[in-house]
Amino acid sequence: MNWDDTAPSAATDPALAADRLVGAAADGEDTAVEAALRPKDLGEFVGQERVREQLDLVLRAARARGATADHVLLSGAPGLGKTTLSMIIAAEMGAPIRITSGPAIQHAGDLAAILSSLQEGEVLFLDEIHRMSRPAEEMLYMAMEDFRVDVVVGKGPGATAIPLELPPFTLVGATTRAGLLPPPLRDRFGFTGHMEFYAPPELERVIHRSAGLLDVEIDAEGAAEIAGRSRGTPRIANRLLRRVRDYAQVKADGVITRATASRALDVYEVDARGLDRLDRAVLTALLKLFGGGPVGLSTLAVAVGEERETVEEVAEPFLVREGLLARTPRGRIATPAAWAHLGLVPPQQQAGGAGQQGLFGA
Ligand SMILES: Nc1ncnc2c1ncn2[C@@H]1O[C@H](COP(=O)(O)OP(=O)(O)OP(=O)(O)O)[C@@H](O)[C@H]1O
Ligand SMILES: [Mg+2]
């Protein structure tokens, strides 16, 4: 494994993505309100039927045996509910939870200190588990399998390893990139849940639930409008809901209807499909300046006045996921759906060979 992979990038560094209303990473305000909006048990957790049902079985069986639950790995994109689910696991098991993250564990000793202070049955939530150091990871293997760690005392030839028994605990690991986990680590989890993006009706349920908690009045169509622009992500849905609530308070009677939601999100430049200004700038350049491509990433980035990394890691993943843009060996190309979304006509469909010129007028 190449640990340079763990260097901050546009996708993981909140500085670049922070000011985006449709960014999936948590911003300061999210962090403040998320605790209040988090579902507290599996019944309240919306969607993810498969993961929820499987996890329910794992936890019920462990409870029935009076045992500690197996280690659980949760993988999925930011904002889909990994942290929320880890807290639910602890709550369902009636166990305390300890929260830490891969980057916070620099040395194996840091991990040894945490592990040796766990209570029996405690849930250890290790966020961004793919960003742990190699020595800590190796210590974790043994802790997960044998509930034992070797604490090394001293240095050099005189160093001795003192084995330390651990109480049984449940490790819940979360990662946005399951593919980066070394197989020996992945194999030590008894259950792996892969979180999918949410369908619009599920996001509508998230929005109604949050609106209730925030004491905001919203009708079914208002919730549907916000859901459609939330990029399959509950965190974004909750954030858009708060911005629409602001708009409804100031510009309307406080009630969120489809018209209010749609006007508010137009003001915030989040379009009907959840694209924001950056996404649309990338698509517009690709279509209008380069006839839909193929065009190289660097050229595209210069055309929109952004860093290469911003285009590649912040804008493109969602455009690709939505089937609006494709990455090919020859460069980026727009799909027919991209032309349709921006209301433009692809060159080959233009009458009388209007060619590229016509595109600039569009
Ligand atoms: N299934 C769900 N039902 C209701 N709300 C949800 C659900 N999943 C997530 N949320 C809401 O979305 C917000 C973000 O969820 P959470 O912090 O668990 O995401 P995450 O996967 O841990 O993200 P990250 O990768 O950034 O750590 C929370 O405030 C939570 O209220
Ligand atoms: Mg999280």
For 163-227, give the DSSP string: EEE----EEEEEES-GGGS-HHHHTT-SEEEEPPPPPHHHHHHHHHHHHHHHT--B-HHHHHHHH
Label the pairing between strands 148-153 and 160-165.
Answer: antiparallel
In contact, 46 and 223? CB cutoff 8 Å: no
Question: Is any ligand 1 atom within 6 A of the Cβ of residue 310?
Answer: no
Question: Is any ligand 1 atom within 6 A of the Cβ of residue 102?
Answer: no
Question: Is any ligand 1 atom within 6 A of the Cβ of residue 176?
Answer: yes
- Which option is the CATH number for 38-194: 3.40.50.920, 3.40.50.300, 1.10.287.70, 3.40.30.10? 3.40.50.300
Residue nearest to atom 1 of ligand 1 (CA): 46
- Ligand 1 atom at minimum distance from 38 CA: 31
* Assigned fold of 277-361: Arc Repressor Mutant, subunit A (1.10.10)
Distance in angstroms between the alpha carbons of the first and the last residue of the chain: 48
Spacing, Cα 18 to ligand 1 middle (Å): 17
Residue with tokens 């285009």: 311
For the chain, residues classed under CATH 3.40.50.300 are: 38-194
For ligand 1, mutation pick of 50, 83, 177 (most atoms within 8 Å of CB): 83
Burial of 183 (0-12, 13-18, 19+ CB in 10 A): exposed
In contact, 157 and 108? CB cutoff 8 Å: no
Give the CATH architecture of domain 200-267: Orthogonal Bundle (1.10)
Per-residue pLDDT of the chain (362 residues; tens, 9 = 90+): 444 444 444 444 434 445 789 998 888 888 888 888 999 999 999 999 999 999 999 999 999 999 999 999 999 999 999 999 999 999 999 999 999 999 999 888 999 999 999 999 999 999 999 999 999 999 999 999 999 998 888 888 888 988 999 999 999 999 998 888 999 999 999 999 999 999 999 999 999 999 999 999 999 999 999 999 999 999 999 999 999 999 999 998 999 999 999 999 999 999 999 999 999 999 999 999 999 989 999 999 999 999 999 999 999 999 999 999 999 999 999 999 999 999 999 887 765 544 444 444 43
Of 213, 194, 233, residue with least CA distance to 20: 233
Q: In angstroms, rounded to a whole number, what is the distance separating the alpha carbons of residues 167 and 143?
A: 10
